Amino acid sequence: MRYPNLGGWLGAAAFALSPVVAAMTPPGAEDQACRPVVPHDADAGIAITLAGGGTKASSFAMGVLAASVTSQLDLSRDPTRFDGSLFWQSDAVSSVSGGSYAAFYAYSRLIRNRPEAGAPQPADKNLQRYFRDCIPAGLQSRFSPELITAEAARRGMPEQDLFCPTPVGAGSRTDPEALAAARAYWNGEGLRRDTVHQQFVRCHADILTWQRCEFGNSVGARIRSNTTYGALAGVWLSSLPMAWVANTIFDWPINLSPPRIVYREGIGISYGLEPVDARALERDISEAAQVGAVRHFVIDQGAERGETSFANHTPRDSAEAGLLDRGDDVRIRPDPARMTFAGLASLYADGRQSPPRWVINATAAPSRSILGWFGRNDTNFDRDIFHMTADQQCAGGVGAINVDAALPDLENHDRSFEKGRRNASLLTAVNASAAFFDANQRVYGRSFVRFSAALAQHVLNLNWGLDLRNIDEAGVPKASDARRAIHLALPAPLYLGESYAAYVTDHDPVYVRLVDGGSSDNLGAYAPIVEGVKDVIVSDHAEDKGGSMGDLCLLRNELLIRKGLHLHVPGLAGWPRGCYDDLVLRRSSRRMAGTTQAARDAQAALEGVGDAMDAHGEPRVRSYPIWGWPYPFLAGCVSHDASPDSCLTAPRTRLWIIKPAFDYPDWRRRQTAERSADDRVLTRCGEDDTLPCESSAFLARLLAGKGAIDDNLLTPIFPQDSTVSMTINSYADLVGAYRELGRHYTAIATGELDKVRAEGAGSPRFAALLCHQAAHPIPAAMADKTLGLSLPDYEFALEKWTRAERDAARYRRDLPFAGCSTLGLPLFAPLTVGDRVPKAF
Measured CA to CA in angstroms, residue 229 lies from 122, 209, 222, 462, 699 at distances of: 44, 7, 10, 15, 28
Q: Which residues pair with 50 in a beta bridge?
A: 95, 539
Pick the closest to residue 477 from 486, 487, 468, 469 (CA basis): 469
DSSP string, 152-174: HHHHT--GGGSBPPPP--TT--S
Q: Judge whether residue 400 has pLDDT over 80.
A: yes
Contact 689, 744 (CB under 8 A): no
Cβ neighbours, 10 Å, residue 453: 18
Q: Is 323's pLDDT higher than 60? A: no
Is residue 324 over pLDDT 60? Answer: no
Percent of the chain with pLDDT over 70: 84
Pairwise CA distance, residues 112 & 655, whole Å: 33
User: Mind listing the pLDDT tens digit for each residue in 616-627?
Assistant: 888 888 999 999
Evaluate if residue 475 carries a pLDDT over 60: yes
> Cα(326)–Cα(659) distance, rounded to whole angstroms?
46
Mean pLDDT (whole number) for 459-484: 89
pLDDT band for 592, please (50, 70, 90 cuts). confident
pLDDT of residue 51: 97
User: CB of 399 within 8 A of CB of 472?
Assistant: yes
Q: What is the pLDDT of residues 207-224, one digit of tens each?
A: 888 778 888 765 555 555
The CA–CA distances, whole Å, from 416 to 388, 389, 701 equal 20, 21, 42
Give the pLDDT confidence of 173-232 residue by residue, as tens digits.
Answer: 567 888 888 999 999 888 899 999 999 999 998 888 877 888 876 555 555 566 566 656
Decide if pLDDT at 545 tops 70.
yes
- Quickly state the pLDDT bin for 119 (edges 50, 70, 90): low
**Cα separation of 337 and 447, whole Å?**
43
Q: Where is average pLDDT lowest: 177-186, 382-391, 441-450?
A: 441-450
Residue 381 pLDDT > 80: yes
Q: At what angle do helices 693-703 and 145-155 cross, to 10 degrees?
A: 140
Determine the average pLDDT of the residues in 398-412.
74
pLDDT digit string, tens, across residues 594-607: 788 898 899 899 98
Predicted confidence at residue 17, as pLDDT, reads 42
Distance CA 200, CA 194 (A): 11
Q: Which residue has the higher pLDDT, 447 or 523?
A: 523
H/E/C letters for each residue in 220-271? Answer: HHHHHHHHHHHHHHHHHHHCHHHHHHHHHHCCCCCCCCHHHHHHHHHHHHHH
Which carries the bigger pLDDT value, residue 180 or residue 572?
572
Among the residue ranges 7-21, 100-114, 626-640, the one predicted with the least confidence is 7-21
Rounded to 10 deg, the angle between the 732-759 and 196-203 helix axes is: 120
- Reported residue count of the chain is 841
Instruction: In whole angstroms, give the CA distance from residue 258 to residue 826.
Output: 53
Q: Is the Cβ–Cβ distance between 341 and 426 less than 8 Å? A: yes
Q: What is the pLDDT of residues 717-727, one digit of tens each?
A: 999 988 888 88
Q: Which of 358-367, 578-587, 666-675, 696-705 has the lowest mean pLDDT?
A: 578-587
Per-residue pLDDT averaged across 461-472, rounded?
A: 90
Residues 6+ apart with CB under 8 A from 296: 108, 112, 272, 273, 274, 312, 314, 334, 335
* SS3 category, 778: strand
pLDDT digits (tens, 9 = 90+) for 242-301: 989 999 999 988 888 888 888 898 999 999 999 999 999 988 888 888 888 999 888 765
Asked if 629 contacts 662 with a C-beta cutoff of 8 angstroms, the reply is yes
* pLDDT band of 158, cuts 50, 70, 90: very high
| 529 contacts 653 by C-beta, under 8 angstroms | yes
Predicted confidence at residue 506, as pLDDT, reads 75
Query: What does the pLDDT read at residue 90?
Result: 97
Cβ neighbours for 39, distance < 8 A, ≥ 6 positions apart: 45, 91, 92, 357
pLDDT surpassing 90 at residue 825: no
740, 741, 94: which is closest to 386 by C-alpha?
A: 94
Lowest mean pLDDT among 215-224, 231-240, 409-418: 409-418
Closest CA relative to residue 680, chosen from 688, 745, 670: 670
**CA 458, CA 257: separation in Å to the nearest integer?**
10
Could you tell me how far CA 145 lies from the centroid of its own chain? 36
CB 744 within 8 A of CB 811: no
The chain-wide mean pLDDT, for the chain, equals: 84
Contact 423, 417 (CB under 8 A): yes
pLDDT of residue 325: 46
The CA angle 436-623-662, to the nearest 5 degrees, is: 85
Alpha helices in 397-533 (DSSP H): 403-406, 408-414, 426-433, 447-459, 481-489, 494-504, 526-530
Burial of 587 (C-beta count, 10 Å sphere; 0-12/13-18/19+): buried
User: Which residues make beta-bridge pairs with 637?
Assistant: 568, 654
Is pLDDT of 552 > 60?
yes
Query: What is the rounded distance in angstroms from the CA atom of residue 198 to the CA atom of residue 133?
Result: 6
Query: Would the pTM count as exceeding 0.75?
Result: yes
Answer yes or no: is pLDDT of 412 > 60.
Answer: no
At 673 the three-state DSSP class reads strand
State yes or no: pLDDT of 148 exceeds 80. yes
pLDDT score recorded for residue 839: 38
List the helix and strand counts (H, then E) for the chain. 33, 22
Burial class, 790, CB count within 10 angstroms (exposed 0-12 / middle 13-18 / buried 19+): exposed
A 10 A CB-CB count for 692 gives: 24
Left if phi > 0, otherwise alpha if psi is -120 to 50, otherwise beta: which for 399?
Answer: left
Flag whether pLDDT at 492 surpasses 60: yes
> Measured between alpha carbons, how far is 371 from 2 in angstroms, rounded to an integer?
10
Q: Flag whether pLDDT at 12 surpasses 80.
A: no
The residue-averaged pLDDT of 49-74 equals 96
pLDDT at 157 over 70: yes
- Cα torsion at 766, 770, 776, 781 (round to 10°)? 130
Q: What is the pLDDT of residue 222?
A: 58
**What is the number of other CB atoms lying within 10 angstroms of the CB of residue 579?**
26
pLDDT recorded at residue 498: 81
Q: What is the mean pLDDT of residues 764-789?
A: 89
Phi first, then psi: what are they for 513, rounded to 5°? -95, 120
Q: What is the pLDDT of residue 395?
A: 95
User: What's the whole-number mean pLDDT along residues 385-413?
Assistant: 82
Strand partners, 240: none
In this structure, of 39-53, 78-92, 287-301, the range with the lowest mean pLDDT score is 287-301
Highest averaged pLDDT of the listed ranges 47-51, 230-234, 333-337 = 47-51
Write down the pLDDT at residue 308: 33
Residue of 126, 87, 115, 101 whose CA lies nearest to 346: 115
Residue 91, classified by CB atoms within 10 Å of its CB into exposed (0-12), middle (13-18) or buried (19+), is buried
Question: CA end-to-end span of the chain, whole Å?
Answer: 28
Q: Which of 314-323, 553-562, 669-678, 687-696 has the lowest mean pLDDT?
A: 314-323
